[in-house]
Structure 1
Amino acid sequence: MMKLTVVSTIMRVVLGILFLAHGISKFQMGMDGVAGWFQSVGIPGFLAYVVSPIELVGGILLIIGLFTRYVSILLIIVLLGAVFTVKLSAGLMGNGQMAGYELDLSFMLVALYLAVTNNTGFSLDQMLFRRKTA
């Protein structure tokens, strides 16, 4: 059980770091620039103002392990949106001009695991919301 807790913690923290990095990148690019890029690939620009904070705040929440299940579900939705609106046409491994969706699938699987498991590892979720057994 301890090994599973350690692995779950590593998966959660690494996924959090990756989404935090993506969120920071979008904010550094400037939200108007991100919205413009979204529009250029056929996604409504206002979604940049939704997706970027989800990635940034969601990454932080995953790192500390707070609301892991809900954050993971939100991130799966974001990833599905990216795959079906942008990356699917590039194929699994990409097409030389754009990345494919192989990493998105990997991220979705980690997020799905975190969304359905009761073991979020060493986390605030476990400290604050763990049910006490008699």
Structure 2
Amino acid sequence: MNKNEVGTVILRVVLGLVFSAHGLSKFQEGITNAVGFFDSIGIPGFMAYVIALIELIGGIAIILGIGTRIVAVLFAVIMLGAIFTVKLSAGLLGNGQMAGYELELALLAMSIYLVFANKSVFSLDNKLFSSK
């Protein structure tokens, strides 16, 4: 295992932790809050459930290394949606009333990296579907 593989594993685990924590918090704090917010910005409320499930289940999957590329694409789409529908008007670092899109941009970059990265030696995908 080389340094790039170690870095990829660290990136994958951190990304999964952040997304799973955000998904879990949506359910713990009451998903109806997220539904109301989505409705208020013109996105159908049911999408709050979809996003929260992708974040929670996808976060766990990416930590384990299951379907990493697919989950990373979903995360990238979510981050693009967050940036362009909510955060862009606040700017990169925020406007004093709302946080900027710096976190979303970092998570987007991490997700895109994982879309193109090789399978990690420390992933279930590699263990289950290895051709060796």
After TM superposition, the score normalised by the length of structure 2 is: 0.93
Q: Which amino acid aligns with 2:24?
A: I
Any conservation in 2 of the 1:73–1:111 contact (CA below 8 Å)?
yes
Counterpart of 1:52?
Answer: 52
Q: Distance in 2 between matches of 1:100 and 1:86?
A: 9
The 4+ residue runs of structure 1 with deviation greater than 4 A are none
In the TM superposition, residue 40 of structure 1 has moved relative to its aligned partner by 2.4
Q: Which runs of 5+ in 1 are unaligned?
A: none
AA at the equivalent of 1:20: S
In structure 1, what residue type is equivalent to 2:52? S
Q: Per chain length, whose mean CA-contact separation is higher, i.e. which structure has more relative contact order (CA < 8 Å, sep 6+)?
A: 1
Match of 2:61 in 1: 61
Identify the residue that residue 33 of structure 1 maps to in structure 2: 33
Shift of residue 65, structure 1, vs aligned partner = 0.7
Q: Secondary structure at the match of 2:125?
A: helix
Report the residue type matching 1:35 in the other structure.
V
TM-score, scaled to structure 1: 0.92
Alpha-carbon distance, 1:42 to partner: 3.2
Contact 2:5 2:121 in 1 (8 A): yes
Q: What is the root-mean-square deviation of aligned Cα atoms in Å?
A: 1.3
Q: Distance in 2 between matches of 1:99 and 1:129?
A: 41
Residue segments in structure 2 that go unaligned for 5+ positions in a row? none
Following superposition, the deviation at residue 121 of structure 1 comes to 4.5
Distance, in Å, in 2 between the alignment partners of 1:99 and 1:22 is 16
Whole-angstrom distance in 2 between the partners of 1:90 and 1:121: 40
The CA distance in 2 between the partners of 1:47 and 1:2, in whole Å, is 40
Alpha-carbon separation, structure 1, partners of 2:33 and 2:86:
17
Tell me the alpha carbon deviations over residues 39-62 of structure 1, each in whole angstroms, 9 at most, x when there is no partner: 223332121011000000010001
Cα distance in 1 between the residues matched to 2:68 and 2:89: 31
Name whichever of 114-123 and 52-61 sits farther off.
114-123
Q: Is contact 1:12-1:62 (8 Å) kept? A: yes
Q: Distance in 1 between matches of 2:130 and 2:99?
A: 39
